[in-house]
């Protein structure tokens, strides 16, 4: 089987993504019925974390176990990677011992270098630039709640960070639109976002304008992991980019609200929104488990036709 990685969202084609969303449904339904499903019996996943995590670690570890395999947690503090072992050497070794690797790290370049030297599929569990597994779960959640996402409008409010970049890539692959509103100085950098340039996004100075008629409103923390030194400056710059009830009121009547979590109520989102009736954040978080099980199955076994 051809070696495939999931380092950024556009590594999968539209057809493959549509297959994965359908497969997520099957795997989730089976899980809900308590039916054992162990296609990855005897396979193992190494999870390498250079940054903190609750959802990513748990969903990969539980997911691998539920598919019949095992997951091994490594963090940089306790491994030789933290003491300067070249990432290429680590990839050569680790990929001779497990079937699959998931990495959460800083620059995208680190995971790209690892993948170049890996004999097994590598999954991006978040980098400074991208968070493709989260967007897989988010789009699955949208489809589950509202049907196809093609042609819909997603409003992104706040920082043009890893989540924003990945939404923008996804829009190009799956043919929907993203309305982005960031404070001045924090605008999208199309090259860093890795866009094909198919013009599926529009920038708005005023977040209210970005939210108008949107089918989905979404945001994320003002200060991502790795950018903590900028926190005080960001707090001031982002003050008007808090998703509130007024923004939700100008979105489409049946608009959803999503947040990858962890969230800061009173900063990037008002409590009334994240805890309100349009919010699907718990479903979104839970779908990390199901979408990533479909992803791991695909990377190790290819298309499964039952
Ligand atoms: N959304 C997300 O990736 O959460 P964690 O940082 O807890 O993994
Ligand atoms: N943008 C956030 C996402 C956390 C899941 C960060 O990178 O810290």
Domains, in order of start, for the chain: 9-131+285-301 (3.40.50.1370), 134-281 (3.40.50.1370)
- Is it the case that residue 1 has pLDDT exceeding 90? no
Is there a cis peptide before residue 262, judged by omega within 30 degrees of 0?
yes
- Is it the case that residue 242 has pLDDT exceeding 90? yes
pTM: 0.98
Task: Locate the DSSP E strands across 69-144.
Answer: 70-75, 100-104, 122-124
Q: Rounded to an integer, what distance in angstroms lies between the CA atom of residue 281 and that of residue 160?
A: 20
Are the CB atoms for 269 and 12 separated by under 8 Å?
Answer: no
Are the CB atoms for 242 and 266 separated by under 8 Å?
Answer: yes
Best CA proximity match to 258, nearest among 228, 230, 288, 232: 288
Are the CB atoms for 214 and 268 separated by under 8 Å?
Answer: no
User: Dihedral of the CA atoms 162, 166, 167, 170 (nearest 10)?
Assistant: 180
What per-residue confidence (pLDDT) applies to 76?
A: 87
Best CA proximity match to 216, nearest among 289, 163, 291, 262: 163
**Residue 284 pLDDT grade (very low, low, confident, very high; cuts 50, 70, 90):** very high
Reply yes or no on whether 264 is catalytic.
no
**Residue 48 pLDDT grade (very low, low, confident, very high; cuts 50, 70, 90):** very high
Once rounded to an integer, what is the mean pLDDT over residues 255-260? 98
Pocket-forming residues, ligand 1, beta carbon under 6 Å = 53-56, 126, 134, 260-261
Question: Which ligand has the nearest atom to the CA of 47?
Answer: 1
Q: Rounded to an integer, what distance in angstroms lies between the CA atom of residue 225 and that of residue 291?
A: 23
Residue 138 structure tokens: 């988010």
Nearest-atom number in ligand 2 for the CA of 51 is: 8
What per-residue confidence (pLDDT) applies to 181?
A: 98
Reply yes or no on whether 134 is catalytic.
yes
Q: 221 alpha carbon to ligand 2 midpoint, in Å? A: 7
Burial state string for 43-77 with b = 16 or more CB within 10 A and e = fewer than 16:
bbbbbbbbbebebbbebbbebbebbebbbeebbbe
Q: Rounded to an integer, what distance in angstroms lies between the CA atom of residue 64 and that of residue 102?
A: 11
* Token pair 């009334």 in the structure block, residue: 272
Q: What is residue 80's DSSP assignment?
A: G
- For the segment 189-227, what is each residue's pLDDT rounded down to a tens digit? 999 999 999 899 999 999 999 999 999 999 999 999 999
CA-proximal residue: ligand 1, atom 4 (nearest): 55
Determine the distance from the C-alpha atom of residue 125 to the mean position of all C-alpha atoms in its chain, rounded to a whole number.
8
Please state, in angstroms and as integers, the Cα–Cα distance from residue 113 to each residue in 86, 220, 225, 301, following that order: 10, 28, 21, 24
Residue 189 structure tokens: 């950098």
Nearest-atom number in ligand 2 for the CA of 224 is: 8
Question: Looking at 43, 104, 259, 290, which residue is catalytic?
Answer: 104
Q: Rounded to an integer, what distance in angstroms lies between the CA atom of residue 114 and that of residue 211?
A: 38
């Amino acid at each position: 089987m051809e070696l495939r990685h999931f380092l950024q969202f556009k590594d999968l084609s539209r057809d493959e993504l549509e297959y994965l969303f359908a497969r997520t449904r099957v795997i989730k339904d089976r899980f809900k019925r308590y039916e054992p499903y162990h296609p990855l019996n005897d396979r193992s996943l190494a999870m390498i974390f250079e940054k903190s995590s609750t959802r990513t670690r748990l969903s990969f570890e539980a997911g691998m176990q539920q598919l019949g395999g095992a997951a091994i947690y490594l963090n940089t503090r306790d491994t030789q990677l933290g003491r300067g072992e070249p990432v290429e050497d680590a990839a050569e070794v680790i990929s001779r011992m497990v079937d699959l690797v998931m990495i959460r790290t800083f620059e995208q370049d680190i995971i790209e270098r690892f993948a170049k030297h890996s004999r097994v599929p590598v999954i991006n569990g978040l980098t400074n630039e991208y968070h493709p597994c989260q967007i897989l779960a988010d789009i699955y959640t949208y489809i589950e709640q509202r049907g196809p996402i093609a042609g819909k409008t997603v409003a992104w409010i706040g920082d043009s960070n890893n989540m924003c970049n990945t939404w923008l890539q996804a829009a190009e692959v799956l043919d929907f639109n993203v309305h982005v509103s960031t404070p001045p100085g924090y605008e999208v950098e199309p090259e860093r976002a890795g866009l094909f340039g198919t013009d599926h996004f529009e920038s708005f100075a005023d977040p209210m304008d970005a939210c108008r008629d949107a089918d989905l409103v979404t945001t994320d923390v003002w200060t991502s992991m790795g950018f903590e030194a900028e926190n005080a400056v960001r707090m001031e710059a982002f003050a008007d980019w808090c998703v509130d009830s007024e923004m939700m009121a100008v979105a489409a009547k049946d608009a959803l609200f999503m947040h990858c979590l962890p969230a800061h109520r009173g900063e990037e989102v008002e409590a009334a929104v994240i805890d309100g009736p349009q919010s699907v954040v718990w479903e979104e978080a839970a779908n990390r488990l199901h979408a990533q099980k479909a992803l791991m199955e695909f990377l190790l076994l290819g298309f499964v036709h039952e």
